[in-house]
Amino acid sequence: MEKVILIKYGELSTKKDNINFFLTKLKDNIEWSLKDMKVNITYDLGRMFIHTEEDFDKVINKVTKIFGIHEINIGYIITENSFDEISKKVVELLKDKTFTTFKVESRRSNKKIVKTSVELSKDMGAMILKNIPNVKVDVKNPEILINMEYRLDNVLVYFEKIKGLGGYPVGTLGKGLLMLSGGIDSPVAGYLSIKRGVKIEAIYFESPPHTSFEAKDKVIKLARKLAVYNNDINLHVINFTEIQEAIYKNIPHEYLITIMRRMMYRISAIIASRKNCKILINGESIGQVASQTLTSMNAINEVVKIPVIRPVACFDKLDIIDLAKKIDTYETSILPFEDCCTIFVPKHPVINPSKEKCGEYEKLIPYEELIYKAVKGDQILKIEAQEKNIYVDLL
């Protein structure tokens, strides 16, 4: 009887024609996450199995951070054929457990078995009552649930259920570019898009010397937290100083943020197209600040064609904070280092910017040239999930 880690797919099972594409990706992602361990992964359309002699807790700890998994169980594969032999094995497993009430649930994909699932459960229950003293059946609230799956080649038994993260395997939906600031919202937005199968690259705008090394380091730390879910992450660091100074010197201050964000969008769209990212992702949330009113979003969004996904657009701040705590980015996000937006914040930013005025004001600076320069200086950091080292690749 082999002890295995059993994986259930959840939403993935709804993918009919291309389910194999999703499953191969899931397998690859699990292998990536367990690359330091010796494991062998097998699967069929209903279940995936991790065969390993490594410490199960360590493996499960990693697997609970992989998207595309609905549930994880520690299972046992029974290869015996007769019901008597199978039940002996189940009793053997139960002898190690302390419980007084139980319930058996059975599934039967092997249609050669003539008994129904209900009959199989009843018969297994009877064998357990006969062989284990002082236990009884409780179908409503059992202390232990004995899950039996009668499959074509074998029988699976498992007890506890561990909840997986759900979502789709990262990479199955292509790539997206996350605008990652040091704030609370954008890492959460990144996490939510990775959850839907989007492999992300991230882009960060820095304005040295107005922004500190610590501010950048904070973004690198946040990227590293996301890298766990994303199978590493490329972080594009864009020097935004010249653009920001030009805006500050030449453009009416109430429009500083609107124009600055239009520049960020333009640069992000160029990097996205270079890196084959099909969407931009950011942490904008409706109404949170002046640049996130519907009119502002319109005035900012109009400069790019690429779809902009805002996963936390409709979340309350407190809900975003809750999620940030769950994914362990919150403590890093609240470190007190300013990013480039907070330094150049005007006293009275426009709440309803006009697109025409944006266009007029932008003529006051040579923004195309500045954008070209900023994109050319893109510094790509490869951020790994575990190791501290990063390599720098200049375009």
Closer Cβ to ligand ATP, 339 or 362, answer by number: 339
> What does the binding site for ligand ATP look like in residue numbers (CB under 6 A)?
179-181, 183-186, 203-205, 282-284, 288-289, 291, 339-341
Q: 3-class DSSP state for residue 151?
A: coil
Distance of CA 373 to the CA centre of its chain: 33
| Residue (69 or 313) nearer to ligand ATP, CB | 313
Select 22 or 204, whichever has its Cβ closest to ligand ATP.
204
CB of 257 to ligand ATP, least distance (A): 7
Choose the contact partner of 288 out of Mg ion, ligand ATP, none; CB within 5 to 8 A by kind. ligand ATP
Q: Which does 301 bind (CB under 5 to 8 A by kind): ligand ATP, Mg ion, none?
A: none
C-beta of 386: minimal distance to ligand ATP in Å?
Answer: 24
Listed residue (165, 23, 47) closest to 107, CA to CA: 47
Shortest separation between residue 365's beta carbon and ligand ATP, angstroms: 19
Closest CB 181 distance from Mg ion, rounded Å:
4
Convert 35-58 to b/e letters by CB count within 10 Å (16 or more is b). Answer: eeeebebebeeebbbbebeeeeee
Q: How far is the CB of 339 from ligand ATP (least distance, A)?
A: 4
Residue whose CB is less far from ligand ATP, 104 or 237? 237
Nearer to ligand ATP among residue 139 and residue 286 (C-beta): 286
Nearest to 200 by CA among 231, 225, 166: 231
180 contacts which partner out of Mg ion, ligand ATP, none, CB within 5 to 8 A by kind? ligand ATP
Contact partner at residue 171 from Mg ion, ligand ATP, none, CB < 5 to 8 Å by partner kind: none
Q: Residue 323 binds what, of Mg ion, ligand ATP, none (CB under 5 to 8 Å, by partner type)?
A: none
Distance CA 218, CA 203 (A): 13
Identity of the residue numbered 48: M
Q: Is 282 in the site for Mg ion (CB under 5 A)?
A: no
Burial class of residue 318, CB neighbours in 10 A (0-12, 13-18, 19+): exposed
Maximum Cα–Cα distance across the chain: 88
Q: How far is the CB of 342 from Mg ion (least distance, A)?
A: 7
Q: Which is nearer to Mg ion, 29 or 181 (CB)?
A: 181
238 - beta bridge partners? 205
Regarding 183 and contact with Mg ion (CB under 5 A), the answer is: yes
- Of the residues 73, 181, 231, 285, which one makes contact with Mg ion according to CB under 5 A: 181
* Closer residue to ligand ATP, CB minimum distance, 75 or 283: 283
Whole-angstrom Cα Rg for the chain: 27
Q: Which tokens hold the place of 43? A: 């699967």
Phi-psi region of 360 (alpha: psi -120 to 50; beta: other; left: phi over 0): alpha
Residues 6+ apart with CB under 8 A from 184: 283, 317, 320, 321, 324, 329, 330, 333, 334
In this complex, which beta carbon is closest to ligand ATP, that of residue 7 or of residue 179?
A: 179
Q: Under the phi-then-psi rule, with left for phi > 0, alpha for psi from -120 to 50, and beta for the rest, what region is 393?
A: beta
Per partner kind, with CB cut-offs from 5 to 8 A, the member of ligand ATP, Mg ion, none near residue 186 is ligand ATP
Question: What is the separation of C-alpha 240 from the centre of its chain, rounded to a whole number of angstroms?
Answer: 28
Q: How many helices (H) and strands (E) does the chain have?
A: 14, 16
User: Could you tell me the smallest distance in angstroms from the CB atom of residue 322 to ligand ATP?
Assistant: 14
Q: Work out whether 190 is an interface residue with Mg ion (CB under 5 A).
A: no
Binding range to Mg ion, per CB under 5 A, among 35-43, 54-62, 93-101, 174-182:
174-182
**Residue 257 or 365 having the CB closest to ligand ATP:** 257
- CA-CA distance, 264 to 280, in Å (whole number)? 11
Two structure tokens written together for 388: 């501290």
Work out how close the CB of 205 gets to ligand ATP at its nearest, in angstroms, rounded to a whole number. 4
d(CA 157, CA 90): 8
Residue 185 binding: pick among ligand ATP, Mg ion, none (C-beta 5-8 Å cut-off by kind): ligand ATP
Residues 251 and 361: beta-carbon distance below 8 Å: yes
CA 95/CA 30 separation, integer angstroms = 32
Residue reference for tokens 């409709």? 314
Please tell me what DSSP assigns to residue 223: H
Nearest residue to ligand ATP, scored by beta-carbon proximity: 183
Binding residues (CB under 5 A) for Mg ion: these are 181, 183
